[in-house]
């Protein structure tokens, strides 16, 4: 696929609390793989190998983890935002590169999600529709909570965004109320609507003005996998979905279950599926890992540990019974509820 893409990775992750102080959200380990690598693998698996990533909060850690992208089958271009530019300003800053000088549309993917959306089908829908943008959405009962996108049941066009409607839009009863997944294809014409300077929002400063002017915006209603990791509880759930196979990823970034060959698990340790024990991890005799447990790379699980629905980050230590917990090198968050 000739499209270029950008992964949005500059946000602060404020709803994650102290977790985002240790790692930016795109580096949260899911089954011991940094979250952003799921987005990378999905793009590369669809033939998208020229990828930009915008950075702000703890951005140097993301760049260090991914390098030039060659280890993952792609070529990365970094956009370092000294002042955060938002979902609009971040795109505009890379707009000339993303559109190949104004000649082509491009993909936008959020760096915090798991999805199995068929990007090839989305690109074809965009090309066939002649739209200025194509949004991948999900029909959900609480769409207003997420900022509703309204898709025409017959044409598949986006007729409404939040409180705005396209001229001649179908009545609300003929529209599907959806949430936006953060996956979209944008044509150069939509980028031109964004303010030239400073922070901006792609929805409020580009999509809604385009909609009100009658510019065509296409919708793809995705019924497959979509999961975002904006809270500790949702982060844990993402790990469980990968471990037990509910997240059926067509292009996984690496092994998601079992014991890495370089890990050391003592004969007297008990492993209860599903679990993942990462490279260089140590699990001592007497420890119980699982069900639903991840032991990250180089982590240490002591003999008194009982890990039931727990994620131990790389280089962290677990030495006591924990349930619904996240163990980082700095802290333990347990009894996390949804």
Taking the C-alpha atoms of residue 220 and residue 54, their distance in angstroms, rounded to an integer, is 25
Taking the C-alpha atoms of residue 195 and residue 259, their distance in angstroms, rounded to an integer, is 50
Reduced to 3 states (helix: H, G, I; strand: E, B; else coil), residue 107 is: strand
Long-range contacts formed by 195-199: CB under 8 A, 24+ apart: 195/88, 195/89, 195/92, 196/92, 198/83, 198/85, 198/89, 199/83, 199/84, 199/85, 199/86, 199/88, 199/89
Q: What's the pLDDT score for residue 21? A: 85
Q: What's the pLDDT score for residue 1? A: 60
CATH of domain 4-228: 3.90.550.10
Q: Where are the domains of the chain?
A: 4-228, 257-333
Taking the alpha carbons at both ends of the chain, their separation in whole angstroms is: 39
Residue environment code for 261-287, b if the CB has 16+ CB neighbours within 10 A, otherwise e: eebebeeebebeebbbbbbbbbbbeeb
Q: What's the pLDDT score for residue 291? A: 98
CATH of domain 257-333: 2.160.10.10
> And the tokens for 166?
């396209």
Taking the C-alpha atoms of residue 313 and residue 25, their distance in angstroms, rounded to an integer, is 13
Cβ atoms of 306 and 318 closer than 8 Å: no
Residue identified by tokens 């209603």 is 221
Q: What's the pLDDT score for residue 337? A: 82
> And the tokens for 274?
């599903």
Q: What's the pLDDT score for residue 253? A: 97
Residues of the chain below pLDDT 50: none
> And the tokens for 25?
């959200």
Q: Quote the percentage of the chain above a pLDDT of 70.
A: 99
């Amino acid at each position: 696929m000739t499209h270029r893409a950008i992964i949005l990775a500059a946000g602060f992750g404020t709803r994650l609390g102290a977790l985002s102080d240790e790692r930016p959200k795109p580096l949260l380990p899911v089954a011991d793989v940094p979250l952003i690598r799921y987005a990378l693998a999905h793009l590369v698996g669809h033939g998208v190998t020229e990828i930009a990533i915008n950075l702000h909060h703890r951005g140097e850690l993301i760049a260090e983890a991914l390098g030039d992208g060659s280890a993952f089958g792609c070529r990365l271009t970094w956009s370092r935002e000294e002042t955060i530019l938002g979902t609009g300003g971040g795109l505009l800053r890379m707009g000339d590169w993303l559109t190949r000088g104004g000649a082509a549309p491009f993909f936008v993917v959020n760096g915090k999600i798991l999805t199995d959306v068929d990007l090839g089908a989305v690109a074809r829908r965009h090309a066939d529709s002649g739209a200025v943008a194509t949004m991948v959405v999900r029909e959900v009962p609480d769409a207003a909570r997420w900022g509703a996108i309204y898709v025409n049941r017959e044409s598949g066009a986006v007729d409404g965004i939040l409180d705005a409607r396209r001229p001649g839009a179908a009545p609300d009863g003929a529209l599907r109320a959806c949430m936006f997944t953060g996956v979209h294809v944008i044509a150069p014409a939509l980028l031109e609507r964004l303010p030239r300077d400073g922070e901006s929002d792609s929805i409020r400063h580009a999509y809604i003005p385009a909609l009100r002017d009658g510019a065509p915006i296409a919708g793809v209603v995705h019924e497959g996998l979509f999961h975002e990791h904006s809270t500790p509880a949702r982060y844990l759930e993402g790990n469980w979905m990968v471990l037990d196979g509910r997240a059926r990823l067509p292009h996984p970034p690496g092994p998601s279950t079992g014991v890495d060959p370089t890990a050391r698990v003592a004969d007297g340790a008990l492993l209860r599926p599903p679990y993942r024990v990462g490279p260089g991890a140590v699990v001592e005799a007497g420890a119980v890992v699982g069900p639903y447990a991840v032991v990250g790379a180089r982590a240490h699980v002591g003999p008194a540990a009982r890990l039931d629905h727990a994620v131990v980050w790389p280089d962290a230590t677990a030495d006591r019974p924990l349930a619904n917990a996240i163990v980082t090198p700095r802290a333990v968050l347990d009894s996390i509820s949804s």
